[in-house]
Amino acid sequence: MSVVVEEYNPLWPAHFQQIRSELASYLKGVSVKSIEHVGSTSVPGLAAKPIIDVDIIVSRENLGPAIDALVQNGSFTYLGELGIKDRHALRDPKQSPQRNTYICIDGAFQTRNHLALRDTLRTNTALREEYADVKRGLAARGVDIVDYLKGKGGIIQKILKESGILTEEELNAIDAANTNVERIGATKTAKLTLREFVTSDVDGYYELESDPDVVRYQTFEPFTYEQAKKQVFEILRDSACIPRQHIELAVTHENQLIGRVGAMLDPNSGKDGQPHLASLWFSFMPKWQGKGYATEAVEKFIELLGRRPLTLEIECDPRNTRSVKMAERLGFERVTVTERAYESKGEMVDSWVFRKSY
């Protein structure tokens, strides 16, 4: 979907004030330093995507309480850092006027970055005009959000340099964040949706991994609710790392979580033209097995991994015939057979490794 940039709308500050007072009511009792209108809609006269960016600025120790207050009092969904350290994204159930809501750590350089960008653009007319031209140009070319963010990287660096409040190292980190967008957008197949995990997936994840049949051939026991919660938060945290090594997506059918697909990339692969090496896993609720859904999801996931050349491995306990069939169905070849490879649930089990190169 291409990005829409509109001329400045004088109603944007009023929209922000409305959002601000809603947020303040949810955050009552939490120590908040300030709630700031940031992003292009906060700069009078600047053309912008018509989305109000809001930073709730808190000290590090108030991050947890602020997230909890928004999730519990305002029905927000916590999305994690989304690749930007110290900027925690929340999906707001109210989307009119459209907004992005973040909780930002006071003094962290990403927080200072947002404020510096806004304050410089508010006072420097020439840079404001140049920035608006770049944005209009990108929108006129019909670019998607990924190319839009990349296309703005150069002018943002110029504005931040002008602000003079960030170090060279901090400027490089912002540039890397703007040019390495590693999040995978929600994608549909014929019957399924693959998307990044969100905190509200804990219940579904628990239903999946607490099932003894699902974990029958895994080394771990069925998950407790606490373990499921911890695992979902780990997936969220790992999704924010750049470069990303652990990539795991939720698979949904009619808006219900039915399984997950993941890969762990070897950190030393992919450099100097080497193939990216990754181990692949998948797990689906028993009531959704035997319908071809897992195959459909894994095929799409491999496409979304995108990295090429790519070599993928699937490790199976050979007693796990569904998993073995799955590897074969996907065209993987068995490359190693190890007898009594490791202990699983009190017994020594064999291990088969399947491999395929893309």
Ligand X SMILES: CC(C)(COP(=O)(O)OP(=O)(O)OC[C@H]1O[C@@H](n2cnc3c(N)ncnc32)[C@H](O)[C@@H]1OP(=O)(O)O)[C@@H](O)C(=O)NCCC(=O)NCCS
Q: Binding-site residue total for ligand X (CB under 6 A)?
A: 18
Write out the DSSP string of 280-312.
EEEEE-GGG-SSSHHHHHHHHHHHHH--SSEEE
Footprint on residues 275-304 left by ligand X (CB under 6 A): 281-284, 289-295
Report the SS3 class of residue 278. Answer: strand
> To the nearest whole angstrom, how small is the minimum distance from the Cβ of residue 189 to ligand X?
12
> To the nearest whole angstrom, how small is the minimum distance from the Cβ of residue 69 to ligand X?
37
Whole-angstrom distance, CA of residue 54 vs CA of residue 91: 12
Using CA atoms, how far residue 240 sits from 72, 167, 268, in Å, is 24, 22, 19
Report the SS3 class of residue 52. Answer: strand
> To the nearest whole angstrom, how small is the minimum distance from the Cβ of residue 68 to ligand X?
32
Whole-angstrom distance, CA of residue 86 vs CA of residue 80: 10
Footprint on residues 128-167 left by ligand X (CB under 6 A): none
> To the nearest whole angstrom, how small is the minimum distance from the Cβ of residue 262 to ligand X?
9
Whole-angstrom distance, CA of residue 44 vs CA of residue 40: 8
> To the nearest whole angstrom, how small is the minimum distance from the Cβ of residue 91 to ligand X?
28
Closer CB to ligand X, 214 or 250, in the complex: 214
> To the nearest whole angstrom, how small is the minimum distance from the Cβ of residue 138 to ligand X?
40
Closer CB to ligand X, 240 or 330, in the complex: 330
> To the nearest whole angstrom, how small is the minimum distance from the Cβ of residue 218 to ligand X?
7
Closer CB to ligand X, 181 or 215, in the complex: 215
Footprint on residues 299-328 left by ligand X (CB under 6 A): 320, 322-323, 325-326
Residues 88 and 77: beta-carbon distance below 8 Å:
no
Write out the DSSP string of 87-113.
EEEEE-S--SS-EEEEEEETT-HHHHH
Report the SS3 class of residue 334. Answer: strand
What is the maximal distance between C-alpha atoms in the chain?
A: 71
Closer CB to ligand X, 177 or 314, in the complex: 314
Nearest to 173 by CA among 196, 194, 157, 155: 157
Closer CB to ligand X, 33 or 355, in the complex: 355
User: What is the number of the residue whose Cβ is closest to ligand X?
Assistant: 292
Q: How many alpha carbons lie under 13 Å from residue 276 in its C-beta half-sphere? A: 18
185 near ligand X, rule: CB under 6 A: no
Closer CB to ligand X, 39 or 204, in the complex: 204
CA 191-196-199 angle, to 5 degrees, is 115
Closer CB to ligand X, 45 or 290, in the complex: 290
Closer CB to ligand X, 8 or 281, in the complex: 281
Whole-angstrom distance, CA of residue 137 vs CA of residue 131: 10
Report the SS3 class of residue 241. Answer: coil
Footprint on residues 198-227 left by ligand X (CB under 6 A): 214, 217
> To the nearest whole angstrom, how small is the minimum distance from the Cβ of residue 226 to ligand X?
21
> To the nearest whole angstrom, how small is the minimum distance from the Cβ of residue 286 to ligand X?
8
Closer CB to ligand X, 52 or 326, in the complex: 326
Report the interface residues with ligand X, using CB under 6 A. 214, 217, 281-284, 289-295, 320, 322-323, 325-326
